[in-house]
Structure 1
């Protein structure tokens, strides 16, 4: 039974636990049975074996043979300089092997330093008391306490939730913080269930209690890690070409040596002289300078890339990057900045870009209550960091507060006195504030829920009743903004007279604000340069299809009216042949795809003969990478 489909009581019962958590003795027993909450890393080759591999690849073997033949010739015919040639070849092999190993070893150490993704300590209920344990000691059935700023250490099913929102971009690729509740979910996968929190994600706002149902390699995070470790190493185009050249050189050199030996025999020359001559011909045809030339060229390229903050783990990957024909790119944090910003407003009955507010002072003044609302209605924390105050919490709220403070001016006389917190049923939150104009209620949330409490709307000409025509205009504006990939929030307010209840009724709708995760400034030019170089770019993201398509149009990745958009559910039903044919589309992007599906897309592209590069910054990108 999938735990996210069960009610809270059933979920606890299915794990033989209770809301008060496990006893210390039962937790110890389960830890011995299920093992620590850690990911088993794939067994690495011993350092000496990896070092030795640099001296035993095919081309190095050819050079070893060439050196051996040189020493053999010198032994039987001294004074011909063959010993110096042999020493030079051995020197080339040793220097090249040490240099290649050192380059890759440095990169491996740098990667190892980045592998701290899970929290070290977790608050958990043991024997009905709150204790702090190391994350590796969590077991299925533990009840953990979660609050704003926490990183999740294991896959959990929520049992209590108060305004909880989580950032799942590292695991699912979704750019927006996702609300969470305790209701049973009908989703097929726990990845998108609204009552689960997953290992490797973080809490943006709110508090919760949750029961652990998967630890270590059994979590979604661990499953992705296993996919990453089990993906076999493949040779690069350069490695395949050098192997082919090595076989060709070895065959030609040997053939020439044999032919000339036979010619000498036919001419009646002494067999031993023929043998030494043949050995000399074979050694002369071994390109001992090729190996250090290739290695030094690749090493110089890795140094140039390091200056641009690109870490190359394996030297041949540099040349493979230059041979790329297709780039599969994640969206969140790769093509976009992975931060929220205000892009557009619907204010006074018309759309207005964020950038135009600076030159429209009268609009800002007439609609000041909208900006005061954006500045005050939030759950952010103002914390000290490196000698300055910074906001911590939901990136979307940070963007709104920045806008509100910039436009509303001094709000020192405004003081929050109460709050109606956000919850997933109401889909809105409100704050009650003392202001110079009296006590005010400021509300923000999803348009359909805020509308239910509004009686009038603020236009440029003044207040107007919220009649069916106005509602139709608002809903149409929301659809237009959402189709552009924006996250749309409605803002409303009301005066609360002394002694009156601060309920969310009889409010004035002030306007709509649309937010986005903006594309990186350099991305459109990079896409144009790739297109000019004949490199195809395919967006492969875990985010919503509408958001993915909107960003693709903004950055110039999609230009046609009807590109092919395939979501994870459709991809799951496609055969390898159907996927191969679908990838022939001139413009195609994938949305709502999981980690294993990203890897599948890469594998199918490789079967089509493409040389594939993958870019991404999330855990869900690791298997494809």
Structure 2
């Protein structure tokens, strides 16, 4: 494992030499020197990414490929003489850009409100006196005090330490706090030196004094933040796909326009200028002007739905990206688990008790064989509860929230809650047996001792690691009997400890003894050598950081959706695998790769490991980044979850980073695309469903829009192929009336469709699949489009038939001609009514969802009928759009049109469901 600068130099340097190098002393700096150093090193703050200028953020919404295409199409509409419609196209672009900017601005403001960098105040020695200073005023060489509950404001080396334990889970992912001492010891893994404390960590218990080694961006916290900020933000898969789609549509539109331009010259002998305007009209017809508004609306609605489910999305495109996710790299502590150590078993030689209830909440009880028990019935259990709470420096402050405030270490908090669940009255017991001395925990002894006094006895309570403590025991208590401990007893105790360890559970040995009390001078002479021996073994308290209750269902949904979950944690191999197997992420056959092994792996070996069931344990920040990068090289769309500083580089590198809003560090939140405001992993599954729905809805929109392109083009093709004998059945302005008028609201309604049944039982879409695929093109052009073309052509000749055709020539002007083109326009609109209903589902019957399920679609249908009536019957508008009033026979024809089209499509979906088992 690579060592950082502090590990390699400061930690092992003689203290006097270190203070000399830092040009400071145990009494700290003078105010003048501190000011000079602040000018040199800057404030003790973590700099966030350079914020984009508001102007650039605003303008980017009007400069995408599709936006540029809309600007051009608006210009084309103006060139065709349709100034009003050209302006309308531009207004659509402006409204869409403003809407996108506002959504992202709101998300960024919500994210900013979550940020609170570093602790506010620290007790610092200045001019030889203790002062309460804002932590951003701290400089290298400052000396400050540490107390239980304090956040560490900077990287520092301990000068004094009394029973200090530090929660480093934000850096390492390790649940168990690290013990810190003045004496240097190099522990396992990164950030494990016994005499160094790091910025961004929290003091769980004890107190001490430390000298600052590094501040701000020079701390390990800051270096990881800097690494995160160096990652370039790449276009999301949706952005890439929309860019590709824009190019495809542009090529199709230009190709169609070119064909019609040449045909107008060759077949109809139009002048070049007139042919050019005619071709421009066809190009505009093939541009889906409503695409960007639909995409934005779909994403915004998904964001709003997710906000109600406690998921804050910082960027609209992130929703769809999460919908494409094929792999989730998830941290364990605080993400899959509750980050709350919980005692779930009490193992005594005579009895084993189950402790019900999870987390730091007093809502459980003791059980034996599923029956509630009273701790008074077992004298050994009474003593175990007494030792667990006496030998304890942690307090649990109940609050109005579900999670109480913990002042101390998670392990000791678990013991306090265990006793509360059993009904043990600690305060009453302590009044009878007050503490008179403490022998603090240290990493050599791996145990802690407290001494309590009664009238004629001293009660010695000892808890710690079984390895070192069991050999100090000469007796064992079973129920009310105390007898010498035997080799068979020791074997059973060790076997029980091993059994729990293989399940990823952590055991803590509980022992005690009593000493006859003589006088107070006796207490002063007690030390570890003459106190922590001849102990009576009581049992083991067995604890774990429990999985979140909702995680089981969330994991199952991910597997049903063919999404692989890979645990990437700083915790131990045994614990990591135990949790992964328990919650169903992997089977017990999964391979566990440690950080040390990962360092030795080349790219080929890592890719091979990632193809199977794998868990990563004891990993460092840069290694998480390596895992995410390798998965992306393998073609995976990767979501990375986490809450610690160690997760930030991977969050930034991933296709989408998901940070925890409650327990997450500021750096993690800043790096992420999405923040779970309730730290609920299940919200990710909801986001995946929303993302898949967004993509599906965009395809529904495209299918609906392209439906009308064919019947818009076929009349013009008839005009060209007949060399003008068939007058133009549909004018350019009527085509634009469909694209920018009647089609818009139903299309937007399709963008708000709810998830289709079974969407979470499908595999993530293939990386090389596209919005505009072969199936969509065939369905739009060869099915829907062909039917609509046939119907609209019949409608055109239907009007002419009523007026004497084929005995009379087709009219090219006048009221009959205008009525015929109006009928063609109306037929396309009524075919689109059926299409709007049909496009709500891909395979599922619309009747199953409810034909009136989507009110926005029906509002759009009502709107397009009203708009058609306005175009047909309003004087002035009739002249602009070449329309004329329709007769009763025409309306009967139009009203009947959607019914067979809708039913034919329902039959096709039924056949498809049976064929493909949808």
TM more than 0.5: yes
| Structure 1 CA distance for aligned equivalents of residues 178 and 619 of structure 2 | 17
Q: Which moved more, 1:601-610 or 1:612-621?
A: 612-621
With CA pairs under 8 Å and 6+ residues apart, which has the higher RCO, 1 or 2? 1
Name 2:507's counterpart in structure 1: 488
Q: In structure 1, which of residues 527, 535, 543 is the aligned counterpart of residue 571 of structure 2?
A: 543
Residues 1:419 and 2:407 are matched in the alignment: no
Q: C-alpha distance in 2, partners of 1:386/1:245? A: 52
Aligned twin of 2:414: 399
The one-character-per-residue Cα deviations of 1:410-453 (angstroms, maximum 9, x if unpaired) are 45143323132323133222223346995422221112333343
**Contact 1:364 1:407 (C-alpha < 8 Å) held by counterparts:** no
- 1:447 paired with 2:440, answer no
Map Cα deviations across residues 175-234 of structure 1 (whole Å, 9 max, x no partner): 122211122233597522222111111111001111111111111111111122121112
Please tell me whether the aligned partners of residues 513 and 536 of structure 2 are also in contact (alpha carbons under 8 angstroms).
Answer: yes
Q: Does 1:43 align with 2:50?
A: yes
Aligned match of 1:377: 391
More divergent stretch after superposition (47-56 vs 454-463): 454-463
Match of 2:905? Answer: none
Separation (CA, whole Å) in 2 of partners of 1:297 and 1:472: 64
Map 1:450-461 onto structure 2 (within 5 A): 450-460=469-479
Matched, 1:565 2:592: yes
Q: Which residue of 1 aligns with 2:284?
A: 283
Equivalent residue number for residue 624 of structure 2: 598
Return closer, same or farther for 1:511/1:316 CA change in 2, 3 Å cut-off.
same
Report the alpha carbon displacement of residue 145 of structure 1 after superposing the two structures with TM: 1.0
Q: CA–CA distance in 1 between the matches of 2:35 and 2:625?
A: 37
CA distance in 1, matches of 2:485, 2:535: 10
- Map of 1:365 onto structure 2: 378
Alignment of 1:165-184 (within 5 A): 165-184=165-184
Aligned CA distance change for structure 1 residues 478 and 256 (closer, same or farther; 3 Å) = same
8 Å Cα contact 1:372-1:408 kept in structure 2: no
Contact 1:167/1:176 (CA < 8 Å) preserved in 2?
yes
* 1:195 corresponding residue in structure 2: 195
Please say if residues 447 and 464 of structure 2, whose CA atoms lie closer than 8 Å, have aligned partners that are also in contact: yes
Q: Is the 8 A contact 1:596 1:623 kept in 2?
A: yes
CA 569–121 in structure 1, closer or farther in 2 if over 3 Å, else same: same
Judging changes above 3 Å, is the alpha-carbon distance between structure 1 residues 461 and 269 closer, same or farther for their aligned structure 2 residues?
same
Q: State how far apart, in whole Å, the 1-side matches of 2:345 and 2:473 are.
A: 22
Compare 261-270 and 180-189 and name the one that shifted more: 180-189
| Distance across 2 between alignment mates of 1:437 and 1:239 | 78
Cα distance 1:216–1:12, how it changes in 2: closer, same or farther (>3 A)?
Answer: same
Alpha-carbon distance, 1:237 to partner: 2.0
After superposition, the C-alpha distances for 1:272-320 in whole angstroms (9 at most, x for unaligned) are 1101101101111110111111111111111111111000111111111
1:461, distance to aligned residue in structure 2 (A): 7.8
Question: Matched residue of 2:258: which SS?
Answer: helix
Shift of 1:149: 1.0
**CA distance change for structure 1 residues 435 and 555 in 2, over 3 Å: closer, same or farther?**
farther
Query: Quick check: 1:375–1:403 contact (8 Å CA) kept in 2?
Result: no
Partner of 1:580: 607
Distance in 2 of aligned mates of 1:309 and 1:197? 34
1 CA distance for matches of 2:456 and 2:504?
37
Moved more, 335-344 or 252-261: 252-261
| 2:185 paired with 1:185 | yes
Residues 188, 31 of structure 1: alpha-carbon distance in 2 compared, 3 angstrom cutoff: farther
Is structure 2 residue 446 aligned with structure 1 residue 432? no
User: Deviations 1:96-127 (Å, cap 9, x if unpaired)?
Assistant: 11111111111111111111131122112223
Show CA shifts across 1:355-407 (max 9, x none): 43462447852321111222222102466867999652212212101212332
Aligned to 1:510: 538
Q: Which runs of structure 2 are paired with 1:126-525 in the superposition (5 Å)?
A: 126-186=126-186, 191-267=191-267, 268-349=269-350, 351-355=352-356, 356-357=367-368, 359-361=372-374, 365-367=378-380, 368-381=382-395, 392-407=407-422, 409-411=424-426, 412-415=428-431, 416-424=434-442, 425-434=444-453, 439-460=458-479, 462-499=481-518, 503-525=531-553
Aligned partners of 1:387 and 1:419: how far apart in 2? 35
Preserved contact between residue 190 and residue 620 of structure 2 (Cα < 8 Å):
no
Matched position secondary structure for 2:540: strand
1:526 aligns with 2:554: yes
Label 1:224 to 1:404 Cα distance change in 2 as closer, same or farther (>3 A).
same
In 2, the alpha carbon distance for the partners of 1:198 and 1:422 equals 22
Which deviates more from structure 2 when the two are superposed, residues 41-50 or residues 417-426? 417-426
Of 169-178 and 431-440, the range deviating more from structure 2: 431-440
Question: In the alignment, which residue of structure 2 is the partner of 1:67?
Answer: 74
Going from structure 1 to structure 2, the CA distance change for 1:364 and 1:373 (only over 3 Å counts) comes to farther
* Larger helix proportion of the pair: 2
Give the Å deviation of 1:552: 0.8
Contact 1:117 1:200 in 2 (8 A): no
Pair 1:176–1:61, CA change in 2 (3 A): same
Alpha-carbon distance in 2 for matches of 1:187, 1:494: 32
Could you say what the CA RMSD is over the residues aligned between the two structures, in angstroms?
2.3
1:31 Cα offset (Å): 1.7
Map of 1:79 onto structure 2: none
Closer, same or farther in 2 for the Cα pair 1:391/1:580, shift >3 Å?
closer
Measure the CA separation in 2 of the matches of 1:611 and 1:290: 24
- The C-alpha deviation readout for 1:573-625, integer Å capped at 9, x for no partner, is 3223332222112x101111122221221111111110111111222222212
Aligned mates of 1:401, 1:167 — CA distance in 2: 18
Residues 8-31 of structure 1: per-residue CA shift (max 9 Å, x gap): 334323323222222323222222
- The more displaced of 209-218 and 406-415 is 406-415
SS in 2 for 1:242: helix
The 3 A distance-change label for structure 1 pair 387 and 485 is closer
Question: Aligned partners of 2:449, 2:421: CA distance in 1, in Å?
Answer: 21
**CA displacement at 1:530 relative to structure 2:** 0.8
Aligned to 1:583, what secondary structure does the other structure show?
helix
* Greater radius of gyration (CA): 2
- Structure 2 length normalisation: TM-score? 0.64
Question: Structure 1 pair 262/515, CA: closer, same or farther in 2 (3 Å)?
Answer: same
Q: Matched residues in 1 for 2:458 and 2:198: separation?
A: 41
Task: Identify if the C-alpha distance between structure 1 residues 470 and 330 changes in structure 2 by more than 3 Å, giving closer, same or farther.
Answer: same
Conserved 8 A contact 1:237-1:320: yes
Is the CA contact 1:7–1:183 (under 8 Å) kept in the aligned structure 2? Answer: no
CA 1:387/1:176 → structure 2, altered by over 3 Å: closer, same or farther?
Answer: closer
Whether 1:117 aligns to 2:133 is no
**Counterparts of 1:409 and 1:204, CA distance in 2:** 24
Give the number of the structure whose residues are more often strand, by fraction.
Answer: 1
The SS at the match of 2:412 is helix
Q: 1:83 to 1:435 in 2, by over 3 A?
A: farther
Count of residue correspondences: 616
Range with bigger deviation, 408-417 or 609-618 = 408-417
